[in-house]
Homo-oligomer: A and B are copies of this chain.
């Protein structure tokens, strides 16, 4: 009988759980609701109960489970302590110890959700074959995960890979959620590109099909760009410019093999990675040129893959 591992990706609305073989095959995945009542105090026991139920149903002994990996949308230290997680209502406590007690499995690893997604993409997704890579997730915000020698880089306070808050524009007047100005997230997230589109439509007199749309989104902007709309292309160029600059900063620090671009905005496809790479090459020194820019492949499953991989590392 083979060995299994379990990946648990805790989100603000649902918890995704995946049952994997230790060879990286996803055997089953399911979701439970994230109960945020009473400071999120039911979340971990709900997860434990759901795992127990699945193991019984699949007739899997706990001794055949290598471990449980858990991804949390907040900063996590190397020993599995969450340092507040507003989305879940959590304060500061050791998540790993709590899950060990609840499930009775000793190998429990906890990571930040953006970091575990990076590890998942390295294991079975767009970053397969690389040991040093950076995942950039372009969603509502811009998240990052850094993989060094096949493992997550956590940082001294769990804030490594917070690349959405790299300053890329020093004349920006709007304030980012983090309180600063000019953050990458302000321009390169799904929210950011729509905000920029609205701003540009007001100040520019270029004709654009974006003017006729009732609903602007990252998708409609990229679709218009692909059809040759000039203003939409200006928006994509700006997003790619700032991502290329941020990637060049990241490379000067850690010199990775590849960047993997994920999140909703990455559905735009190769137009996105090609344009980021062009801007990257313009902004790095010779020794850092010719990195790979790949699209993420695991979508919303990246988290459970990475969680499972954490316990195998």
Residues of A within 8 A of B (CB): 75, 131-132, 144, 146, 148, 153-163, 165-167, 178-180, 183, 245, 248-257, 283-288
A234 to B159, CA, bound (A): 33
B253 touches A253 (CB 8 A): yes
Question: Which residues of chain B are within 8 angstroms of A160 by Cβ–Cβ distance?
Answer: 253-255
Closest residue of chain B to A253 (Cβ to Cβ) is B253
A253 touches which one: B154, B180, B245, B250 (CB < 8 A)?
B250
Cα–Cα distance between A131 and B131 once the two chains are bound (Å): 22
**Besides the contacts A144-B253, A161-B252, A179-B285, what 12 more A-B pairs have beta carbons closer than 8 Å?**
A156-B256, A157-B288, A159-B251, A159-B255, A160-B253, A160-B254, A163-B253, A165-B252, A166-B252, A167-B245, A167-B283, A249-B253
Q: What is the minimal beta-carbon distance from A248 to any residue of chain B, in angstroms?
A: 6
Which residues of B sit under 8 angstroms from A253, Cβ to Cβ?
Answer: 144, 146, 160-161, 163, 249-250, 253-254
Copies of this protein in the assembly total 2
Residues of B within 8 A of A163 (CB): 252-253
- Sorted nearest first, the 10 A-B pairs with minimum C-beta distance are A155-B255, A165-B285, A178-B285, A160-B255, A159-B287, A249-B249, A159-B255, A156-B257, A253-B253, A132-B156
Q: In the complex, which of the residues B153, B157, B167, B257 contacts A287, with contact meaning CB atoms closer than 8 Å?
A: B157
**Residues of B contacting A283 in the complex (Cβ-Cβ under 8 angstroms):** 167, 180
Given A75-B287, A153-B148, A286-B179; A249-B166 close (CB under 8 Å): yes
In Å, the complex CA distance between A131 and B156 comes to 9
**Contact sample, A vs B, 8 pairs, CB 8 Å cutoff:** A159-B285, A160-B255, A166-B249, A167-B245, A167-B248, A167-B249, A178-B285, A180-B283
Chain B residues, CB < 8 A from A288: 157, 159, 162, 165
CB pair B284–A165 under 8 Å, yes or no, is yes
User: In the bound complex, do residue B180 and residue A285 qualify as a contact, i.e. CB atoms below 8 Å apart?
Assistant: yes
C-alpha gap A144/B166 in the complex (Å):
19
Nearest B residue (CB) for A176: B285
Please state if B255 and A254 are interface contacts (CB–CB under 8 Å).
no
How far is it, in angstroms, between the C-alpha of A202 and the C-alpha of B132 when the chains are bound? 46
